[in-house]
Amino acid sequence: MAEFLIMFREVLEASLIIGILYTFLVQSKKTHLTNQLWNGVGLAIIASVIFSFLFQIFAGGFQGNASKIFEGFVMIAASLVLGTMIIWMAKNINIKAQLEKEAEDAMSSSNAGVGIFSLAFIAVFSEGVEIILFMYSVMLTSNGISIISSTLGSLIGLFIGYLIFVKGKNVPLKQFFNFTSIFLIFVCAGMMAYGVHELESGGLITDYGRLWDINPPKNLDGTYPLFHDKGMIGSLFKGFFGYNGNPSLIEFIAWLTTLITMGYSWKKITSKNS
């Protein structure tokens, strides 16, 4: 479920940005610049794929405690980036005016084509890097990702972008982003907690012991019960909400602090914008 929401949000955001830029170019009768727009999109996708391969190679070079420390920092970085994305979207739920201003500034320069190309490239590549970072984090917490769920999220994001800019449908984006933001705040807190957990496992942070252990014992056949944090249901909650049946004190504090901070900040911004 976490990968579905992440892919849905990221693909929809990229689609909205490119759709707004394309519509602005057409309405401004600058259709000759649309080629630069699509060139930027295409190169950004290629760059994202290359970055993905390099990231996997780099991540695979760590072993033992170094691997756990690396994963811990990646998880914390992903949590911070995801939190920033949630807050940014809450502040800029209507990004059309801002993007049109940036596009207008780009076109007013002597290198208008380069400006439009750069806007498109940065928008798509940044979303691509975020997807790689987030999906790697989801994979670590849930011991894998669902290709079906990820693909479905991407397709729905593209479809909604298509409805908005091709079919001219009035899609309630504010409700979409508000609803998904609530769930992603829990994902953000879970990533932060798991990052701290990995730093503890790697010996970078002192582990002061478990606060509690509500994990049921293994089944007689060696499998994990449904509600164990490695069981079928428990691992689902672990991947989505950061659930841990035996958290440490620092891990729990990190989870609770992130959840409260993000929840309060998001609520304050959305209340102001409503």
- Which range scores top for mean pLDDT: 52-66, 90-104, 124-138, 250-264? 250-264
pLDDT for position 239? 66
Task: Please tell me the distance from the alpha carbon of residue 126 to that of residue 30, in angstroms, as a whole number.
Answer: 25
- Quick one: average pLDDT of 7-25? 86
pLDDT for position 48? 93
pLDDT in tens, 242-264: 778 888 999 999 999 999 999 99
- Quick one: average pLDDT of 32-59? 90
pLDDT for position 145? 59
Q: Does 70 or 221 have the greater pLDDT score?
A: 70
Task: Please tell me the distance from the alpha carbon of residue 134 to that of residue 86, in angstroms, as a whole number.
Answer: 13
Helix residue ranges, H only, the chain = 2-27, 34-59, 64-91, 96-108, 112-142, 147-165, 173-201, 232-241, 249-273
pLDDT in tens, 151-201: 888 898 888 888 887 776 777 777 778 888 888 898 899 889 989 988 998
Task: Please tell me the distance from the alpha carbon of residue 214 to that of residue 246, in angstroms, as a whole number.
Answer: 6
pLDDT for position 274? 64
pLDDT of residue 110 exceeding 80: no
pLDDT for position 8? 86
Task: Please tell me the distance from the alpha carbon of residue 268 to that of residue 53, in angstroms, as a whole number.
Answer: 39
Task: Please tell me the distance from the alpha carbon of residue 108 to that of residue 183, in angstroms, as a whole number.
Answer: 41
Q: Does 268 or 150 have the greater pLDDT score?
A: 268
